[in-house]
Each structure stands twice: as C-alpha cells, then as structure tokens.
C-alpha cells in the first residue's frame, strides 16, 4: 500500500509539473561519488590525472522501492595534449555522454558534452598548479505522457490506463545548449601530502526549459569542492574531501573520508579503499573500492536518513564507478597517482 501511494504521489506530482506549463527548475543529475565523475563536477579537472588518457564510467540507481527507479549513467574520456611542448603544464580535452531517466521513464534526458582545461604550473618544482576550464553541452530532454498517471484515468473501480489522458500530444522534446566554466588549484608538498580546491558554475547561459510559451530558465548551479590526502605508514593514505552545491533554490553539502590500504604481494600495485560520506539530514554513504595503477572500481550506497526514510524503507541509491588509465607510459605522468583521486 505504501509503495502504491509513493508511485501515485510522484506521478501525480509530475502531472501537475507538466500541466502548469513549466519545468520547475529541474534538479541536475548528480552522483554521490562526485570524485569519480570529474568532468560532470568541474570542467577545470579535464586532463588533471596521473596518466595521459582516462576513461571514466558511473552508474546510479536510486529509490528501488518504486516500480521504476531513477537511473543516471555517464561515460567520459579525457586526455592530455602537447605534453612534450608545455613543460609541467597540463592541457586537457574531454568528452562526456550522460543519460538520466526518471518518473517511470516518463522523463528522459541525454547530454553530450565537450570540455577543455589548461592547468598552469606556478612554481619551479612543478608542485602547484592553477587551472581554468570550459564545457559546452547539447541537452535533449523528452517527456512521454503515456508514462504518467492522470486524474482522468481514475474511475470508481480504480486506475484504468486504457482511458485517454486528455493531453493534446503524446509528449514533447526540448533541445538546448548549456555552458559551464570552472577553476582549480592543486598542489603537493615534499612530504607527499596533496590538496586541491575547485569551483564550477553550470548553466552560465541559463537555457530555457519551458514547455510552453512562458519562459522557464535553468537556475545557475554553483559548486565548490576540495580535497586533502596524506600518507600514513609506508604505502597507505587517508583522503578527505567535501562538496557544496547551490542552485539558488536548492543546496547540498557532502563530506567524508576514505582510507587507502595497500595490498602487498600481488602482481600489480593494488589498494583497497574503504570510507564513508555524509549528506546532512539526507544520507549516510558507505564506500568500498579496489584500485591498481591501471584502474579503480568503486561501490557506494546511499542509506536514507531523511524524512522520506519510512516511505523509501531507508533505501537510497546504489552507485558504481570505474576509472581506467589507458596510458602506455606511466613514467611520463606529470602528477602522482594520488592527485585529486577523492
């Protein structure tokens, strides 16, 4: 019974959202493992990794207590250019594809993005860098009315999906260009402790998401993120990181820590990562990962602690990420492998 009420509430809410002719500042897709999807977090992080070519994939499945959960998936690839000509500077270009589905697959969004960044070395030893980046995205959003529940489809006997919903069309499609920019400062000291501070600003051009003649422009999204890591013992390391996002009408804070435990006596340099993140009044997010010099696999799960925990049975979002270093010569890397990992 509770599950049916949840589904009905969400679908009827979506009906109101469509019927008034406005998209009420739709929330951007985002990940709990924000550190594993750098190109959707900050364009200035394009190319800033240990290696020359990186492939990153993230998949999120949220709220499985409903019939069709929210799903988001990304595939990104970025690489460094002109490494032999620009010294310790980093010039990166990247590409991102994202798919986001919600409301019983009634709302689908596809994003294709290209980003570029230049991170300038600001000291003789190459330990400190300051960078800026830009990203352009082509967004396509589709709404399928057949996936929603409308009040006209209810009878004294209950819901009848064969009844007409009364809408003049089967749905609609929106296309728009979205622009983002970001900055990044990163550094590492002689004791091999590393840190970074970055910020990004999405929807710079405030694209119009209206589904009628009345304008409904996306609110700008400001993100500020930072991280610090330091070695413990000989091969182990502790990572601390935080993210704050604000889109004028919503805001989110998230912070946590991850411990890297080196696993000896294996063919490849391998580490086990365990940690936990926290979104105040929303979720506790345990994390476990396995990494080598060539890849890192991460798993996390949002445990809901918000006021929705009864309706969602405390279930949140399952997330899996994979990053792969496709570089042939690891010795040519301009930065250590611990750089901006979490």
pLDDT at 252: 93
CATH of the domain at 38: 2.40.160.40
pLDDT at 169: 57
The whole-chain average pLDDT of the chain stands at 82
Q: Is residue 340 part of a domain?
A: no
Q: Is residue 6 part of a domain?
A: yes
CB neighbour list of residue 114: distance below 8 Å, 6 or more residues apart: 93, 94, 95, 96, 135, 136
Q: Is residue 185 part of a domain?
A: yes
0.85 exceeded by the pTM? no
pLDDT at 58: 96
Q: Is residue 120 part of a domain?
A: yes
pLDDT at 93: 97
E strands, 16-89, are 53-62, 70-81
Per DSSP, 118 falls in state: E
Per DSSP, 145 falls in state: G
Cα Rg for the chain, rounded, in angstroms? 22
**55-59, 139-143, 161-165, 294-298: range with lowest mean pLDDT:** 161-165
Q: Is residue 12 part of a domain?
A: yes
Q: Is 39 helix (H, G, I), strand (E, B) or coil?
A: helix
Q: Is residue 341 part of a domain?
A: no
pLDDT at 313: 58
Q: Is residue 338 part of a domain?
A: no
User: What domain count does the chain have?
Assistant: 1
Whether 96 contacts 65, CB under 8 Å? no
The phi and psi torsions of 332 (rounded to 5 degrees) equal: -85, -5
pLDDT at 332: 58
What range defines the domain where residue 296 resides? 2-332
Mean pLDDT of 73-84: 92
Residue pointed to by tokens 């990104």: 76
pLDDT digit string, tens, across residues 255-289: 999 999 999 877 778 999 999 999 999 899 999 99
Whether 336 contacts 51, CB under 8 Å? no
pLDDT digit string, tens, across residues 213-251: 678 888 999 999 999 999 998 789 999 999 999 988 889
pLDDT at 239: 97
Q: Is residue 339 part of a domain?
A: no
């Amino acid at each position: 019974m509770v599950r049916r009420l949840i589904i009905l509430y969400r679908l009827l809410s979506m009906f109101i959202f469509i019927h008034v002719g406005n998209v009420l500042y739709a929330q951007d897709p985002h990940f709990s493992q924000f550190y594993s999807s750098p190109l959707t977090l900050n364009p200035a992080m394009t190319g800033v990794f240990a290696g020359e070519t990186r492939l990153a994939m993230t998949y999120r499945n949220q709220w499985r207590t409903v019939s069709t959960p929210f799903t988001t998936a990304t595939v990104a690839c970025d690489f460094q250019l002109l490494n032999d000509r620009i010294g310790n500077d980093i010039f990166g270009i990247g590409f991102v594809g994202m798919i986001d589905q919600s409301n019983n697959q009634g709302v689908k969004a596809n994003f294709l993005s290209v980003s570029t960044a230049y991170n300038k070395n600001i000291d003789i030893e190459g330990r400190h860098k300051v960078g800026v980046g830009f990203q352009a995205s082509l967004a396509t959003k589709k709404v399928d009315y057949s996936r929603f529940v409308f009040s006209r489809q209810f009878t004294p006997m209950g819901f009848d999906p064969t009844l007409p919903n009364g809408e003049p069309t089967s749905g609609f499609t929106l296309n728009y260009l979205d622009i983002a920019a970001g900055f990044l400062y990163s550094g590492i000291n002689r004791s091999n402790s590393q840190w970074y501070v970055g910020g990004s600003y999405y929807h710079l051009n405030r694209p119009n998401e209206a589904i009628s003649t009345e304008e409904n422009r996306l609110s700008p999204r400001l993100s500020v993120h930072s991280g610090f890591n330091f070695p413990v013992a000989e091969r182990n390391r502790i990572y601390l990181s935080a993210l704050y996002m604000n889109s004028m009408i919503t805001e989110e804070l998230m912070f946590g820590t991850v411990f890297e435990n080196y696993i000896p006596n294996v063919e490849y340099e391998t580490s086990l990562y365990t940690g936990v993140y926290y979104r105040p009044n929303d979720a506790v997010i345990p994390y476990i990962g396995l990494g080598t010099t060539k890849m890192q696999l991460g798993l996390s799960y949002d445990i809901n602690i918000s006021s929705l925990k009864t309706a969602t049975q405390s279930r949140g979002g399952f997330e899996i990420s994979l990053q792969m270093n496709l570089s042939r010569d690891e010795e040519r890397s301009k930065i250590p492998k611990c750089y901006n990992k979490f």
